[in-house]
């Protein structure tokens, strides 16, 4: 028995997982996209490579998402397995309609590192670390009121109220951010209509709605998946609700924020600053107004989860490979994103192995 696997964006430089799939009886087709160069094959090329595929897998791909047309290239496609947490580059609705599993790989080395990075960029912006470093290196030394940072400790009675942190999305990353910030003694608000109310108590945060969170928070941190509901969920009207000295953090997906509206809000001092690790189109266009806003923005090239000594995608590649092999054996992998498809998938493929 054998199966065809299209790896649309390979990320295993060692080739170990490729060998594991081949040893199980898989024939591999490799695309040309990668995490570092996400502008890979165009849709027509991907359709040709996906023809007859029983499974697809890979890391993030920006040039040509996994569209319905790509999936329609194979009537026996069982699974699309991402090596990463995000699945916004897959037409999940189409996959569900077609009876195809979509899985992701929420490795702690990834989502945990995103939480760490979120706090790092928050502190960098709020404490004005870049400005202080530049001031000293350029010959300055004595205090300058322009270099004063925000107090981010416990709320006090002596004139230092501390900040209010607003977390939008209380999934793995948002919950970890709240856990890491709780010892600081600050007020933490959170909104997420998709988690049970008891989780807010478990995380030590105050449950609220998005409008109230935007109005009351000094820092707004976004930790949502990209869906039809969250696309541009933060735009011109939302910026108007925020405090003029508020800071926006986005370490989720670029399209959650209307970039043009954000640039205008920063230029016109509607809000004070933003720190971004994800953008609507990546890499960020050289002419993007976000590149011209100086210290009002802190920009990171979608690598907030990258830590020294920890392979960003290593564990995710292995996880995605396990998902592929499980599906090809007729088993339901863990971390199925579109769980609504399971009854139909079980009827089509459950218990039907096509690999040795």
What domains can you pick out in the chain, each with its CATH number? 3-84+313-349 (3.40.50.720), 110-299 (3.40.50.720)
Q: Which of 62-76, 237-251, 338-352 bottoms out in mean pLDDT, i.e. has the lowest? A: 62-76
**pLDDT surpassing 80 at residue 140:** yes
Token digits of residue 326? 């499980």
What are the CA-CA distances from residue 227 to residues 41, 62, 86, 184, 224 (Å)?
24, 16, 10, 32, 9
SS3 286: coil
Catalytic residue positions, numbered: 253, 282, 302
Q: Residue 36: what pLDDT?
A: 60
How confident is residue 38, by pLDDT bands cut at 50, 70 and 90?
A: low
Q: In this structure, are strands 273-276 and 26-30 parallel, antiparallel, or unpaired?
A: unpaired
Record the pTM. 0.88
Query: Rounded to an integer, what distance in angstroms lies between the CA atom of residue 105 and that of residue 74?
Result: 24
80 vs 185, residue with greater confidence: 80
Mean pLDDT of 286-293: 97
The pLDDT tens digits of the residues spanning 89-132 come to 999 999 999 999 999 999 988 899 999 999 999 999 999 999 99
């Amino acid at each position: 028995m054998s199966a065809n696997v299209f790896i649309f964006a390979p990320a295993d430089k060692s080739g170990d997982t490729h060998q594991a799939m081949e040893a199980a009886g898989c024939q591999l087709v490799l695309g040309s996209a990668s995490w570092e160069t996400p502008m890979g094959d165009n849709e027509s090329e991907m359709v040709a490579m996906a023809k007859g595929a029983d499974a697809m897998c890979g890391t993030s791909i920006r040039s040509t998402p996994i569209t319905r047309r790509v999936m329609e290239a194979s009537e026996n496609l069982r699974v699309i397995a991402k090596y990463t947490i995000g699945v916004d580059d897959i037409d999940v609705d189409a996959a569900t309609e077609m009876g195809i599993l979509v899985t992701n790989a929420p490795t702690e080395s990834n989502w945990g590192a995103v939480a760490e990075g979120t706090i790092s960029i928050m502190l960098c912006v709020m404490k004005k670390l870049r400005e202080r470093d530049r001031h000293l290196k350029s010959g300055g030394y004595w205090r300058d009121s322009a270099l004063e940072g925000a107090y981010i400790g416990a709320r006090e009675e002596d004139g230092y109220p501390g900040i209010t942190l607003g977390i939008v999305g209380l999934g793995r990353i948002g919950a970890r951010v709240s856990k890491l910030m709780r010892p600081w003694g600050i007020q933490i608000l959170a909104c997420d209509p998709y988690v049970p109310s008891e989780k807010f108590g478990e995380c030590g945060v105050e449950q609220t709605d998005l409008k109230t969170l935007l109005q009351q928070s000094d820092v707004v941190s976004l930790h949502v998946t990209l869906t039809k509901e969250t696309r541009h969920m933060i735009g011109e009207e939302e910026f108007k609700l925020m405090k003029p000295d508020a800071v926006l953090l986005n370490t989720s997906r670029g399209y959650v924020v209307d970039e043009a509206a954000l640039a205008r809000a920063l230029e016109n001092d509607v809000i004070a600053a933003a720190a971004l690790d994800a953008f609507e189109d990546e890499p960020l266009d050289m002419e993007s107004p976000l590149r011209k806003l100086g210290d009002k923005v802190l920009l990171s090239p979608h690598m907030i989860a990258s830590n020294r000594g920890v392979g960003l995608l290593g564990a995710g590649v292995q996880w995605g490979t396990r998902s592929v092999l499980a599906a090809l054996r007729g088993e339901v992998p863990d971390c199925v994103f579109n769980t609504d498809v399971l009854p139909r998938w079980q009827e089509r493929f459950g218990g039907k192995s096509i690999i040795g």
